[in-house]
């Protein structure tokens, strides 16, 4: 069991997480809702974005007032999809959400 415990500790220690809020800014506070996340490890980098009903979640869209009650999930996406979503969060320009949605369908 010591080997398994040590292996699990090594895996968790080597993963770096960067969380982003609805303005596209990174944060360290655990009370803030995560809309995007980057996971970096020695195996590579993973990009995750918030989804609701298998579509990219829009924090200023129709469900923005209900976000406390919605069960959003973070799903793994490509770097291009993640980049378009982050630009959308930072600028609120809907063309980037449209591009992210198109890429998300192809992922």
Task: Identify the DSSP state of 61.
Answer: S
Can you state the percent helix, strand and coil of the chain, rounding each to 5? 40, 25, 35
Per-residue pLDDT tens over the stretch 34-57: 889 999 988 899 999 999 999 999
The whole domain housing 20 covers 2-106
What is the predicted pLDDT for the residue at 12?
A: 55
| Region 82-93 average pLDDT | 93
Q: Under a CB-based contact definition with an 8 Å cutoff, are residues 35 and 22 in contact?
A: yes
How many structural domains is the chain composed of?
Answer: 1
pTM of the predicted model as reported, rounded to 2 decimal places: 0.81
């Amino acid at each position: 069991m010591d080997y398994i415990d040590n292996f699990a500790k090594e895996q968790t220690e080597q993963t770096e997480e960067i969380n982003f809020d609805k303005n596209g800014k990174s944060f360290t506070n655990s009370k803030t809702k995560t809309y995007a996340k980057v996971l970096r490890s020695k195996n590579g980098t993973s990009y995750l974005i918030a989804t609701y009903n298998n579509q990219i979640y829009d924090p200023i869209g129709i469900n923005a007032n209900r976000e406390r009650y919605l069960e959003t999930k973070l799903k793994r996406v490509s770097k291009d999809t993640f980049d378009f979503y982050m630009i959308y969060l930072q600028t609120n320009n809907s063309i980037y959400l449209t591009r992210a949605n198109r890429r998300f369908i192809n992922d």
